[in-house]
Copies of this chain bind each other. A is one copy, B any other.
Amino acid sequence: MEDKTTSLSHCPIARAIDQVGEAWSILILRDALNGLRRFDEFEKNLGIAPNMLTKRLASLVEAGMLGRRQYSQRPPRYEYVLTDKGRDFQPVIMAMLTWGNRHLAPEGAAVLAADLQSGEILDPVVVDRKTGRIITHETTTTVPGPAANERIIARLAKNNALRNPQGETK
């Protein structure tokens, strides 16, 4: 990932992928958001090899998405708990859940989001916080923010010039 991080270091999406753009990492976060904490819980639920799990957990701890906490002295045992940064990844998982259910579940949804208290089924959708308007590809673009460098500014200007929704396939 080093090449991409260097060349695209100002893009928040590229940075996000650099931290968790690995299938196991996202599945571990999914499970952590679902309440799993202990090594053997992740291992059993994911069917992941222990050495790979050790590696991915260490990577998520290093990225500040999970905290490592000792819960047993003898034998020494650790659990992995979400930090704020890890918890804030939940909307990404919710957006993936929605997309997966829409496009990858021809037999119907196997997993749905629900309100923790009421159990009411939720339909996750991305909106603008202020106006509440649904954010779609057709109505949205990306623009340079205050910390944009010249490279990002040039790239986004070029991208916007290319946007031509009429020409896309239906």
Interface residue ranges, A against B (CB under 8 Å) = 1, 3-4, 7-8, 10-19, 21-23, 26-27, 30-31, 33-37, 41, 45-47, 64, 67, 69, 81-85, 87-105, 107-117, 119, 121-130, 132, 135-149, 152, 155-156, 159-164, 167-170
Task: Pull 29 A–B residue pairs with CB atoms less than 8 Å apart, ordered by A.
Answer: A4-B27, A11-B30, A11-B100, A12-B96, A12-B97, A12-B101, A13-B26, A13-B100, A16-B97, A19-B104, A21-B23, A34-B162, A35-B162, A35-B163, A36-B159, A37-B162, A84-B170, A87-B137, A87-B138, A92-B96, A92-B99, A94-B126, A107-B147, A108-B147, A109-B146, A112-B145, A115-B140, A116-B138, A132-B132
Quick check: B109 and A142 within 8 Å, CB to CB?
Answer: no
| Interface residue SS majority, chain A | mixed
- With the chains together, A10 CA to B161 CA distance in Å? 40
Which residues does chain B contribute within 8 Å of A100, judged by CB atoms? 11-13, 15-16
Which residues does chain B contribute within 8 Å of A156, judged by CB atoms? 34, 111
Q: Which of the residues B26, B36, B113 comes within 8 Å of A21, measured between beta carbons?
A: B26
- With the chains together, A105 CA to B85 CA distance in Å? 12
Which residues does chain B contribute within 8 Å of A85, judged by CB atoms? 103
Which residues does chain B contribute within 8 Å of A119, judged by CB atoms? 143
Which residues does chain B contribute within 8 Å of A163, judged by CB atoms? 34-35, 116
